[in-house]
Structure 1
Amino acid sequence: MQEEVISCYHDHPTAAHFGVNRTWLKMRTICYWSNMKKDIHDYIRSCEKCAKFNIRRTAPPGHLHPIEYPQGPLELISMDFWGPTPQYSINGNKYVLIITDYYTKYVIACPLPNNTATSTAKSFVEQFIFKFGIPRRLVTDQGVHFNNELMQNLTTLLGTNH
């Protein structure tokens, strides 16, 4: 019987195949049973019309590419962020930029107050390039702190493949 009630609120020509929250908000003024929202969720996720016509709200994940193993130090490094941490450090840092050399497995952890493109580029230059040199290749995820005009200009200027 519960499935029939959900069907009336979701599938009826005047119901417009609303999502879970809108269907639940309409239904809860008229009826209630335990786990009602979960039942609505399950019903709507199994609706063929919704699956066929609803637009995907998130970008599909990117394709993974194999990484050729480096032949020496500074040939391939990776960068990624950890954070935000639950609490600020004494210096007000909430993020950690992790830089790893794939060949030596050497890791540098750079505490930062934010993960902006400017902070990322500055830390990369000051904490890695000034100390160890210019890497040949750089691997990062698609975060905005790595994929931006500043990092693109920096890696182009350095001759680093990113």
Structure 2
Amino acid sequence: MDQAKVQQILNWLPPRNLKSLQSFLGFANFYHRFIKNYSKKISSLTSFLKKDSFFPFNEKALSNFHQLKEAFTTSPILSHFNPSLPTMVETNASNYALGAVLRQDSQYRSILQELGKGKSIQDYSLDSSSQLLLFKDQVVVANDPTIQLSILQKHHYSCLAGHPGQEKTLKLVKRDFHWSIMTQFIKDYVSSCQQCSRNKHIHHKKFGLLKPLTISNGPWICLSLDFMTQLPLSNSFDSILVIVDRFSKMA
């Protein structure tokens, strides 16, 4: 879009009636494919097309109107074809279809500018003396479970470490090493360590001992009761109360 059209859009006043709103929406629909979340941004504006709607815009509609104007004036990666520039035709064929695209060298600059706006990749460095890949002064470990397990065991089983918990073990390994999903790898290993489980402090009261009930001296002195429920209906009943004499076992 040339600068003259951009300036016209910037000077576009908020619609004051139905006709001016329809004119703006007609212009907006032409570029809707290039605007992210277009349907959400335009929903508050289309509500004013109803018969019972009254102008001027409310705060939400006015905000979406200015957002759309900003989207129109922001330079996207795509642009109109320029016949004055050198053009290349790239094709690709398969057993089902033939595809082709026009390419102009001037478009690379726009693409590179957009890529430069993204987040930068986390910095890694190479130690020339040891030929080790470093991440924030930590040695990057290859994606090899055997090597990762060996490093973890040295930090968890050593005499100085003394089988620390998940968080402490993770902190010890993180001092010198780095690899993907390291946190989950260490937590899974420490939680399955048998020696840690045996020596882990108990944070609840000690369990009591099971004590059998005393046997009564005669029948019908001590009874036990229980319910059997969710049975097939019989005369509109689905439960049975079972009473057993603990001395004679009579039910």
TM superposition score normalised by structure 2: 0.24
Rg larger for: 2
The structure whose RCO (Cα within 8 Å, separation 6+) is larger is 1
TM superposition score normalised by structure 1: 0.35
